[in-house]
Every structure is written in structure tokens, then in C-alpha cells.
Amino acid sequence: MSKAYQALKPISIVAVVMLLSLPLLLSCSRESRPQEQETEIAETNRVAYPGRTFSYKAKFNDLQSRQHAVASRIGLPRPPKNREDAAGMRSKLVEVKTNSNYIVDSLTHSVPYLIPSAKRELDDIGDEWADILSRNQLPHYRFYVTSILRTQQDIKYLQRSGNINSVTQSCHCYGTTFDLAYMRFDKVTRTCDYMHEDNLKLVLGQVLLNHQRAGKIYVKYEAKQSCFHVTVRQ
């Protein structure tokens, strides 16, 4: 074997390995580019509500005792014992249904009924929510209503499950109160533009702040349950 051949042999092996690896390298390069591009496009399409941020905990701190006092005064004459008892009070209640501005969540510990003034207030919140999104040329979303009218039996089930915000003297038992999720939203507009959950929370928070300042509602910010606890005042 000549010295020239011996010198070329290691080089040829390296060349073969490189040639065999080339398709894999090209493939990885091609696969990584679209992912990077998709991320860039998503960030470019993110839009935001230009409203000023504020402390939800500080603004929405209406005490349970204050909410319960008004709920027991303007709501159902007494808390329903169970679902059958609640059904017997239907003449004093209005059903809450999913619409273009909000979704009634799959309720497990409550039923979708409110006294008429609370239902009107929920609808007004939905209308103002939609108006803010429209005026700022933002995509339309729906927010979630996660809890409505609870019976005493529902309260017991919640307490057994470890829900720390479930109290025996609950405003939810009078048909005056509903919970609005602030980390889940349903995008309706079919566009590439989207909004971050925190920014949608700001829109919903602004609507509630407007209604709270107008004396229409009491609001409690429930961080662990990720919801705004709202009680109508009139």
C-alpha cells in the first residue's frame, strides 16, 4: 500500500460520513425553519387592548358580608335546599344561556338561573365587553360564566371537595351572584389576530370596574379560583 493511499484513506472515510449526514442535516434545517417562522407570525398577530392595568386585588375586594347582606335582601326569599327545591322557585328566576358574548360553563355545583336584575346585569356586562373589543378593532371573544345559582346541597358538595371559597352563607344561594373566569376565553372572530389571556382579563376587569363604580355590582377577586365573584346590588 502506497503512502499516498494511506494518506487519502482517512480523508475518504470522513468524506463518506459527511455525505451520509448531509441529507439529515438538510432535513433538520428545513424542519426548524417553519417552526421559527410560525412563532414569529404568532407574535406579530398578537393584538392588545390599550387600557391601563390596575390591581384587581385592591379594586375588587368587596367583603363577603357586604355581598351577602344585599343578596339576602333582593334575592330569593331563602336559599333552596336542593335542585328540586330550586325548581320550585323558577317563577322568581330567569334562565341563563350561552350567547354571543359569554358561555355558560358545564356547571357541576350550580344551576343556570338568576333573579331578573342579575341576569340583566350579566347581559349588560357582556354587551359592554363586546363594545370595548369592537371599538378597539380587536377580535371578538366570549368569556365564561362558571358558577351561578347554588343550593345548600351544592354548597355541601363543594365544601367536601375542598373549595376554600365555598361558605355556608353563600351569595350564590340567592340568585344574585355569578362567577366569571378570567383565564379562559373563547375566540369567535376567525382571523389570525389573537389576544393574550392576561389582556382579555384586563378588558373584563375594566368592564366590571365601570359597573362597580356605577354602584351596580359588588366584585371579589378570587385568585385561587381564577374568577371574578360578582353580586348584583339592585
Can you tell me the mean pLDDT for 81-88?
95
More confident residue, 193 or 24: 193
Say yes or no: 108 and 190 in one domain. Answer: yes
Say yes or no: 40 and 62 in one domain. Answer: no
Say yes or no: 83 and 181 in one domain. Answer: yes
The count of domains in the chain is 2
Say yes or no: 129 and 227 in one domain. Answer: yes
Cell reading at 84: 328540586
| Domain CATH for 194 | 3.30.1380
pLDDT tens-digit map of 52-76: 999 999 999 999 999 999 999 999 9
Say yes or no: 11 and 83 in one domain. Answer: no
Q: Could you tell me if residue 153 is inside a domain?
A: yes
Q: Could you tell me if residue 173 is inside a domain?
A: yes
Q: Could you tell me if residue 51 is inside a domain?
A: no
Say yes or no: 33 and 123 in one domain. Answer: no
Residue 26's domain comprises: 1-44
Please say whether the dihedral angle defined by the alpha carbons of residues 127, 128, 134 and 138, taken in this order, is positive or negative.
Answer: negative
Query: For position 44, what pLDDT does the model report?
Result: 82
More confident residue, 159 or 171: 171
Please say whether the dihedral angle defined by the alpha carbons of residues 53, 180, 157 and 80, taken in this order, is positive or negative.
Answer: positive
Query: For position 29, what pLDDT does the model report?
Result: 35
Compute the distance between CA of residue 118 and CA of residue 1 in angstroms, rounded to an integer. 96
Q: Could you tell me if residue 49 is inside a domain?
A: no
Work out the burial of residue 106: count CB atoms within 10 Å of its CB; fewer than 13 is exposed, 13-18 middle, 19 or more buried: exposed
Burial 145-164 (b: 16+ CB within 10 A, else e): bbbbbbbbbbbeebeeeeee
Say yes or no: 175 and 80 in one domain. Answer: yes
Q: Could you tell me if residue 50 is inside a domain?
A: no
Can you tell me the mean pLDDT for 132-154?
96
Compute the distance between CA of residue 98 and CA of residue 131 in angstroms, rounded to an integer. 18
Report yes or no: 139 and 194 within 8 Å, Cβ to Cβ. Answer: yes
- Structure pTM? 0.80
More confident residue, 22 or 136: 136
Say yes or no: 31 and 121 in one domain. Answer: no
Q: Could you tell me if residue 99 is inside a domain?
A: yes
Say yes or no: 150 and 205 in one domain. Answer: yes
DSSP state of 53: P
Say yes or no: 67 and 8 in one domain. Answer: no
Q: Could you tell me if residue 146 is inside a domain?
A: yes
Say yes or no: 4 and 102 in one domain. Answer: no
Say yes or no: 117 and 226 in one domain. Answer: yes
* Type and span of the H or E element at 84: helix 83-87
